[in-house]
Amino acid sequence: MSYVFINDSSQTNVPLLQACIDGDLPFAKRLLETGCDPNIRDNRGRTGLHLAAARGNVDICRLLHKFGADLLATDYQGNTALHLCGHVDTIQFLVSNGLKIDIW
């Protein structure tokens, strides 16, 4: 029997981060409802919010925010989700929820 630890970022495939990449809203919601950390990071320091924003998954961004994701989280290169975002609706969501556009 093998186990997946939903809050262990040392794993190569963290379920919440994969759901954010895939845009799998129902699975991401289930993981968050069962206690998955909305701010878990990958080996580059990116959170699910970074990954979802980079792919234009605004619904995943909204879900993560609802469960307490840190909109100001930076990856190991100092990028916020806004730095990685290239989709207008996702940018509008991030800015309307307090992410400053003048962050360096």
pLDDT in tens, 57-92: 999 999 999 999 999 999 999 999 999 998 999 999
Q: What is the mean pLDDT of the chain?
A: 88
State how far the Cα of 23 lies from the Cα of 104, in Å rounded to an integer.
28
Residue ranges per domain, the chain? 15-96
- Other beta carbons less than 10 A from residue 96's beta carbon: 8
Is the per-residue pLDDT at 93 higher than 50? Answer: yes
**Looking at residues 10-31, what average pLDDT do you find?**
89
Architecture of domain 15-96: Alpha Horseshoe (1.25)
The structure's pTM equals: 0.84
